[in-house]
Amino acid sequence: MTRTVYVNGEYLPEDQATISIFDRGFLFADGVYEVTSVLDGKLIDFAGHARRLQRSLDELEMANPVTEEDLLEIHRELVRANGLTEGLIYLQVTRGAADRDFAYPSEDTQPTIVLFTQAKAGLADNPMAKTGMKVISIADERWGRRDIKTVQLLYPSMGKMAAKAAGAHDAWMVEDGVVTEGTSNNAYIVKGNTIITRHLGHEILHGITRAAVLRMAREAQMKVEERPFTMEEAKAADEAFVTSASTFVMPVVEIDGTPVGGGTPGKVAARLREIYLDEMRKVAV
Ligand code: PMP
């Protein structure tokens, strides 16, 4: 099926959508993105993603080409035009096209904005939620402003390839002896009654799913500690899991070949996944 995508104000068939070869997203990775999931044809935590988009743009002094209201309308129109009931919507904004120069172009340069959908049946009923995922560890060799959701995804891409080569599903990144996050998700361990995840800072992406899941965990009287943890601590944990907009809450059952929590998904991850999906479906737009 030919998808309808959105490019700079127009809805077009995907094979007719183009951007300039001088786009700074292409030349300098001078762009940011967001990913919002769709369940039952509705957007999950749209407001959270719109807020983080604005923050990423502000941190890079990049103009926002659309209001939040317009952005919601574009997301909804793409859901409608593509008959999307379950899947993802990708949004990319770059500083636009300008003659190649490291310095930012003049302020009247139009930012580029692109949105496209990906249908994914079984996003909520992902069989991996029952079996869990395997992760390996790799050094975190990304740049220092991982809190900005830029389109520089080469290192995470290399991490996924390393995981695949090792027969695992993903990689957790380690810096200064502690885990920062997964290549495309936030990382957690559970010890006793306590959920432990890296505190916010420039070192990790401030996951929109993370914020919602931690709020729900606290509301359910679970104990949360936001602090760094080591791989040794992770391997000895009772449970491990990750969160992201595309996987929600996903159990981790093996870390660097060591089974975690007996090698089967844990109760805390299962409960949080259920609470998260229930709550978010109720307030989806
Ligand atoms: N960390 C990284 C590096 C990511 O790429 C992602 C997913 N975009 C996340 C965390 C999770 O963020 P979110 O819950 O907002 O999808």
Is there a contact between 183 and 160 (Cβ–Cβ < 8 Å)?
yes
Distance of alpha carbon 150 from alpha carbon 275, whole angstroms:
30
Place of tokens 């200064």: 176
Which atom of ligand 1 is the closest one to the Cα of 156? Answer: 3
Distance of alpha carbon 72 from alpha carbon 76, whole angstroms:
6
Minimal-distance CA residue to ligand 1 atom 3? 184
Is there a contact between 74 and 102 (Cβ–Cβ < 8 Å)?
no
Which atom of ligand 1 is the closest one to the Cα of 210? Answer: 14
The candidate with the shortest Cα–Cα distance to 6, out of 66, 74, 54, is 74
Ligand 1 site, residue 186, Cβ cutoff 6 A = yes
Distance of alpha carbon 175 from alpha carbon 95, whole angstroms:
30
Exactly one of 42, 149, 164, 191 is catalytic; which is it?
149
Per-residue pLDDT tens over the stretch 27-45? 999 999 999 999 999 999 9
In the three-class reduction of DSSP (H, G, I as helix; E, B as strand; rest coil), residue 46 is classed as: helix
Chain centroid to CA 5: 20
Residue type, 164: K
**Cα→Cα distances 169→92, 107, 184, 231, Å:** 25, 42, 11, 17
Ligand 1 site, residue 117, Cβ cutoff 6 A = no
More confident residue, 261 or 26: 26
Cβ-count burial 200-214 (b if 16+ within 10 Å, e if not): eeebbbbbbbbbbbb
Q: How many C-beta atoms surround the C-beta of residue 103 within 10 A?
A: 6
Distance of alpha carbon 5 from alpha carbon 14, whole angstroms:
6
Task: Give the per-residue pLDDT at 25.
Answer: 98
pTM: 0.97
Ligand 1 site, residue 159, Cβ cutoff 6 A = no
Residue type, 203: E
207: CA distance to ligand 1 center in Å? 5
Q: Does the structure show a pLDDT above 90 at 1?
A: no
Question: Angle formed by the axes of helices 68-81 and 46-59, to 10°?
Answer: 130
Mean of pLDDT values over 78-88 = 98
Chain centroid to CA 275: 19
Ligand 1 site, residue 210, Cβ cutoff 6 A = yes
Q: Is 149 a catalytic residue?
A: yes
Question: CA triplet 109, 114, 116: central angle to 5 degrees?
Answer: 180
Task: Give the per-residue pLDDT at 31.
Answer: 98
Question: CA triplet 255, 173, 123: central angle to 5 degrees?
Answer: 70
With the most atoms of ligand 1 within 8 angstroms of its CB, the residue from 205, 250, 277 to mutate is 205
Residue type, 223: K
User: Residue 23: which residues within 8 A CB-CB, separation 6 or more?
Assistant: 94, 96, 97, 112
Mean pLDDT over each residue of the chain, to the nearest integer: 97
242: CA distance to ligand 1 center in Å? 10
In the three-class reduction of DSSP (H, G, I as helix; E, B as strand; rest coil), residue 124 is classed as: coil
Ligand 1 site, residue 137, Cβ cutoff 6 A = no
Minimal-distance CA residue to ligand 1 atom 7? 184
Per-residue pLDDT tens over the stretch 218-267? 999 999 999 999 999 999 999 999 999 999 999 999 999 999 999 999 99
Ligand 1 site, residue 243, Cβ cutoff 6 A = yes
